[in-house]
Amino acid sequence: MGIQVIVAEDFAALSEAAADIAKKKIQAVLKQKKEAVLGLATGNSPTGLYKHLAKAANKGEFDSRACRSFNLDEYVGLPGDNVQHRVMHPESYAYFMIQEFFSLLKNKFIETNVPYGSLVEQKKLIAELKANPNDWEAKGTDKGKSICIGNNPKSKYLKWVKKEILDGYAGKIKKMGGIDLQIIGVGGRGHVAFHESGIPFKGSSVMLVKLDDNTVTNAVADGHFAAKKDSPNYAISMGAELVYKAKTVILLANGERKIEPVTLSLLGDPTPEIPISYGQTYAANGGELIYVLDRIAGRELLANKKALSAKGFKIKEVG
């Protein structure tokens, strides 16, 4: 289906335009089958979209009771004495989704899913990785790494992580028929979820990721955690290959920090250094990819309309 770029005036207009597209996609899916399977993201970018979608659902424009969702990622190692504490920690993505979307719905989804990062004990994970170096391999060209656990690890704990936490989440998505509509944001280095820059595309289903030191440091600097000792060092995340298996992907981006990754992801060639650039491969294989940007994030794409057109990508301005 190709790639479409929509450039809106500001964050408010971006949110409204993206929500309208998402609503229509959900309506179309529910005309074809009983349930719509949504892929959801955290972060600032989708917050406005979620508010608009909740309003539309509450007005009866689509039936939220016919939707189920799968989130992209979740931390491993959140502060807390037990699973319940970690799940409901204010910085958990489960908590974020309740605050920013699920609690706004009058009629709840059939089911909501967040990767099972809170089930993993970070101290035990680190100990098992250290004690069993032959059970896993770190993949990635930068400091953020995908920790790939082998098929027959000696460590029972690592075997459980692979089977239940990673493969279990991917399997549940597959069992539901895959994701109909995936909402994503983009990080400053072009990463999607915790598929960090440099992690290979191949085999990037549901991953255990060792976070980049900068990611941990920034989490403290931004006030999310009191100190580095409180900040998670790992996460469970969908990888680019799985994210871009959805029937439709809507990518949201706003602000100065997103200009470079957004521009390079479309004007350059696909590369793991900019994970969202995998969208070009996805679109070439028949996927529907829609970028919804504010005027700042879309500035260089607007300045290079001819180059976009030459690659077969459509761009339009709204609002």
List the domains of the chain with CATH numbers: 2-318 (3.40.50.1360)
- The arithmetic mean of pLDDT across residues 196-225, rounded, is 88
Reported confidence tier of residue 79, pLDDT bands at 50, 70, 90: confident
Which residue is associated with the tokens 């656990």?
149
Q: Are 38 and 53 in contact (CB under 8 A)?
A: no
- pLDDT for res 12: 97
Strand partners, 2: 288
pLDDT over 90 percentage in the chain: 89
pLDDT at 309 over 80: yes
Q: Which residue has the higher pLDDT, 182 or 216?
A: 182
- What pLDDT sits at residue 109? 98
CA distance 107 to 84: 24
User: Tens digit of pLDDT for each residue in 235-267?
Assistant: 999 999 999 999 999 999 999 999 999 999 999
Q: Which secondary-structure segment (H or E) carries 248?
A: strand 248-253
Question: For residues 249 and 279, is the Cβ–Cβ distance under 8 A?
Answer: yes
pLDDT in the model for residue 227: 85
What's residue 269's pLDDT? 96
Residue 70's pLDDT is 98
**For 134-160, what is each residue's pLDDT tens digit?**
999 999 999 899 999 999 999 999 999
Q: How many CA atoms lie within 13 A of 116 on its CB side?
A: 16
Helices (H) and strands (E) in the chain, counts: 13, 13
Mean of pLDDT values over 8-18: 98
Q: What residues contact residue 174 under an 8 Å CB cut-off, 6+ apart?
A: none
Mean pLDDT of 93-101: 97
Cα angle: 292, vertex 294, 299; to 5 degrees: 105
Task: Give the pLDDT band of residue 222 (cuts 50, 70, 90).
Answer: confident
Radius of gyration of the chain (CA): 19
Strand partners, 3: 289
pLDDT higher than threshold 80 for residue 48 = yes
Q: Residue 212 has what pLDDT?
A: 84
pLDDT tens figures, 17-30: 999 999 999 999 99
In angstroms, rounded to a whole number, what is the distance separating the alpha carbons of residues 166 and 146?
12
